[in-house]
């Protein structure tokens, strides 16, 4: 996970949730994104963080959705 993503996690989530957020995001791997693209994976992480708005519960929901089809969370994030 790159520095920008870690900065967003630190900014948006409580200190007590940071490790869980990183752990949950890390369950999404290159196998979950089209053509195993690092760019798609990064965009998925950023989209999930945007949609979650600092809520660990929401993050978990969006991680689950991304594992089914990562394009959904990228699309949803583009609409807000």
9-39: pLDDT as tens digits: 999 999 999 999 999 999 999 999 998 899 9
Mean pLDDT confidence for 52-79? 97
Residue 1 — very low, low, confident or very high, per pLDDT cuts 50/70/90?
A: confident
- pTM score of the predicted model: 0.95
Boundaries of domain holding 20: 3-78
Domain count for the chain, please give it: 1
56: left (phi over 0), alpha (psi -120 to 50) or beta: alpha
Average pLDDT, whole number, for the chain?
A: 96
The DSSP 8-state label assigned to residue 11 in this structure reads H
Would you list the DSSP string of 31-59? Answer: GGSGGG-HHHHHHHHHHHHHHHTT-HHHH
51: Cβ contacts below 8 Å, ≥ 6 apart: 58, 62, 73, 76, 77, 80
- Residue 76, pLDDT score: 98
């Amino acid at each position: 996970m790159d520095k920008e993503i870690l900065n967003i996690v630190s900014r948006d989530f409580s200190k007590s949730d940071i490790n869980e957020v990183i752990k949950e995001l890390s369950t999404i791997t290159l196998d979950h994104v089209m053509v195993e693209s690092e760019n798609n994976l990064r965009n998925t992480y950023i989209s999930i963080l945007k949609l979650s708005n600092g809520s660990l519960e929401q993050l978990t929901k969006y991680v689950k959705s991304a594992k089914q089809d990562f394009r959904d969370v990228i699309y949803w994030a583009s609409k807000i």
